[in-house]
């Protein structure tokens, strides 16, 4: 028998996916090369679209984390528009866009990892998985 997944666990999982996406962005060119230029942006857009987290409200995300994600998303939208015509990793690397994103993403990642990651299997009020366990 399948167990129903609570809205809280879904929120926790989405927050963890945001962290995963930000981790790639925080590696700049290294992240771009690792996942390819499409996925570099798309992993973030899987969680954030049209100025908001995909599932909002999300009770696992603090107001400060939400604002940080929205600020990063706004930056990515601008860069995505600038680079829409690019067709290779080399063009992205040469443009410096991934390296421009890197410090902003690092700050966002630091904020999220200060609290840590939530369980993906059960509800938590605060993350039990700290940054050292990720």
> Minimal CA–CA distance to 109: which of 25, 22, 21?
22
Domain housing 102? 7-115
Q: Does residue 134 register a pLDDT over 50?
A: no
Residue given tokens 């860069």 in the structure block: 79
- Position 125 in a domain: no
**Cβ distance 37 to 88 under 8 Å?**
yes
When pLDDT is cut at 50, 70 and 90, the band that residue 102 belongs to is very high
Mean of pLDDT over the chain: 90
Question: Is 82 a domain residue?
Answer: yes
Evaluate whether residue 81 is within a structural domain: yes
39: closest CA among 81, 92, 82?
92
Residue 128 lies in a domain: no
Looking at the 3D structure of the chain, how many domains does it have?
Answer: 1
Q: How many CB atoms lie within 10 A of CB 23?
A: 18
Lowest mean pLDDT among 14-18, 97-101, 109-113, 122-126: 122-126
């Amino acid at each position: 028998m399948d167990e129903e997944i609570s809205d809280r666990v879904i929120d926790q999982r989405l927050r963890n996916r945001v962290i995963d996406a930000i981790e790639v962005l925080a590696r700049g060119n290294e992240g771009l090369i690792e996942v390819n230029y499409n996925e570099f942006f798309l992993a973030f857009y899987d969680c954030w679209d049209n100025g908001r987290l995909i599932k909002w409200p999300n009770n696992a995300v603090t107001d400060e984390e939400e604002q940080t994600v929205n600020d990063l998303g706004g930056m990515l939208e601008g860069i995505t528009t600038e680079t829409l015509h690019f067709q290779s990793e080399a063009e992205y690397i040469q443009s410096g866009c991934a390296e421009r994103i890197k410090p902003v993403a690092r700050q966002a990642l630091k904020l999220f990892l200060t609290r840590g990651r939530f369980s993906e299997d059960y509800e938590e009020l605060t993350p039990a998985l700290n940054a050292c366990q990720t």
